[in-house]
Amino acid sequence: MFVLTHEYDEPLNSDGNWFHARAYGRPVGGTWGGWLVFFPVVAGPVVSTRRETTQPSLEALGYWASGLTEVYLQGALDRALSLEPEAELAAELEALEQLQVSADARADALEDEAARARAESRAAEAALDRTEERLLNTIAKQAEAESDVHEEAATASRAVAHAAERALRARTPTTRSQNKKKK
């Protein structure tokens, strides 16, 4: 990605063709490379120098570009016009091929990482399913045990109620009156 770092006010002339000069930069490794690009005032192809400088930062590149003289820019225009288009295209093609190789390697690494992440996700989902199943089984067993305890308590309460009812029936009215007389 090229970044415009400086625009020059005075047009430059070469063989009757006028150009506006601009300085551009882009990251190159851990530094910034600088190029001068010349745009025709009327019509014609845009021409560019090869990399003119390497600076430690974008700010340093802007400082470098702001200090260029008209004489330097005229020489850069002459150099840019004398460059062989085939050589520039070959260099650009090589850079694009390197970019493609790098992008393919990154894509492969990302695809591998995505496959690992999908496998981890499936394993986590299976573990979650197993844990949920164990939790539900535990809850079901606990509920069953509580149900058994309640049923036993209900059976015992019914037995007590039946025993009390039988004892109450076993007592006859005469037994009640005799008990009252004894007192």
Q: What is the pLDDT of residue 154?
A: 85
In the chain, domain spans:
3-83
| Sign of the dihedral through C-alpha 150, 155, 156, 157 | positive
144: its two tokens: 């069953």
- Please provide the average confidence, as pLDDT, over all residues in the chain: 85
Is 19 exposed, middle or buried, given 0-12, 13-18 or 19+ CB atoms closer than 10 A?
Answer: buried
60-119, pLDDT tens digit by residue? 999 999 999 999 999 999 999 888 565 456 567 677 777 787 888 888 888 888 888 898
**For residue 26, which of 57, 2, 50 has the smallest C-alpha distance?**
2
Return the SS3 of 42.
Answer: coil
Direct distance between the N- and C-terminal alpha carbons of the chain, in angstroms, rounded to an integer: 115
For residues 12-23, average pLDDT: 90
What percent of the chain has pLDDT above 90?
Answer: 36
What percent of the chain has pLDDT above 70?
Answer: 89
Predicted model pTM:
0.46
Q: What is the pLDDT of residue 37?
A: 94
